[in-house]
Amino acid sequence: MTDEARKRELNRLRAAIDAVDDELVALIRRRAELAAEVGRIKEDGGDSPFYVPSREAEIIRRILAGNDGPISDAALHGIFREIIGACLTLEQPLSVAFLGPESTFTHVAARKQFGAGARYVACRNFDEIFDEVESGRVTYGVVPVENAFEGAVTHTLDLFVDREVSICAEVLLGIHHHLLTRAAALDEVRVVYSKTEALGQCRDWLQAHLPHARLESMESTAAAAERAKDEAGAAAIASLQTAERLGMPVLVENIEDHHDNITRFLVIGQHDSPPSGKDKTAIVMSAPNRPGALHDLLEPFRERGIGLTRIESRPTRRRMWEYVFFADLQGHRKDDRVAEALEAVRAMPDSFLKVLGSYPVAEPL
């Protein structure tokens, strides 16, 4: 092909791409108009939630099931998440609380779930996120609940016992940690700041490469980077988004001990989600301290063939050696089998049961 012929072909293909882009914009505009109409109908209905995670899950699952490439599922998911989020803000402006400052992993997870169109409210700690949601000052909050390798975020679990919020969605986020510092080499680093969970997820790397550095826990990875930014000999473990926001050099990338590192976040609000066909239900329960108490709490689920994907014990902080049990069940609280099992637990003498919410199962991408 001659240079002139190549140029003509490129111009033809670019014109075709421009035409497709114009079609996409028109279709997105049409989708936005339909979403706005949905919002008006919901507003007339009074108490219908604008954000319905089960509906979003159905849309995403349907789109990914029909994806034959060449765009990956993860890329297509990201594109439609932004479109859905932008349309949702036309139904109702959303405010979302997260652990601040900007660019923490909680912020990244919130942006993944709600897109760029929501108003994001940075909070100093998890208690403040729950306060914002419980009081109605924000529509939703996002909190981490467990890491695939380090286990539960216990402070989050403890807050669910007494707070009046509901879980309506979960977000799975691949976590990659990076060493941010203005030091030119590792032997110049004397202290490493980060959140406790991030330090734990990089424990082996830190012992191997920075055995003499002091480790200090901060309230968030982004706050750690802000602390280390102008301190000689200091480094922080944080996200690439934080490095970009603060203009901090990344000395070493991907220092997490497990590169398939995933943290699960929960979206909390004033309601949970309707059934989507593939759901989880989160509960917290307890019974008097006696032999077989935990067995009795779990038996109604075994009898009905309901699987538990997680169970975790936490002290009640009311009496010594008294515990509550957090569990995630397969199924929705409105499913007949799940509803029967929950009622059987409630009927047990002196038992305690709190349903934290039902929500669609998130798929790792």
Dihedral over alpha carbons 136, 140, 146, 147 (to 10 degrees)? -140
Cis amide linkage into residue 101, ω under 30° from 0: yes
Which residue out of 106, 139, 242, 263 is catalytically annotated?
263
Rounded to whole angstroms, the Cα distance separating 148 from 6 reads 51
CATH number of the domain at 274-360, please? 3.30.70.260
Statement: 178-256 belongs to CATH 3.40.190.10: yes
Q: Same fold for the domain at 3-175 and the one at 178-256?
A: yes
Query: Going residue by residue through the chain (365 aa), what tens digit of pLDDT does each one get?
Result: 888 899 999 999 999 999 999 999 999 999 999 988 888 887 777 667 778 889 989 999 999 999 998 999 989 988 998 898 888 888 778 899 999 999 999 999 999 999 888 999 999 999 999 999 999 999 999 999 999 999 999 999 999 999 999 999 999 999 999 999 999 999 999 999 999 999 999 999 999 999 999 999 999 999 999 999 999 999 999 999 999 999 999 999 999 999 999 999 999 999 999 999 999 999 999 998 889 999 999 999 999 999 999 999 999 877 777 889 999 999 999 999 999 999 999 999 989 999 999 999 998 76
Active site residue 126: no
Query: What number does CATH give the domain 3-175?
Result: 3.40.190.10
Tell me: the pLDDT tens digits for 329-343?
999 999 999 999 999
| pTM exceeding 0.85 | yes
Predicted confidence (pLDDT) per residue in 98-147, tens digit: 999 999 999 999 999 998 889 999 999 999 999 999 999 999 999 999 99
Domain ranges of the chain: 3-175, 178-256, 274-360
* 265 catalytic per annotation: yes
Q: Which of 98, 114, 265, 326 is catalytic?
A: 265
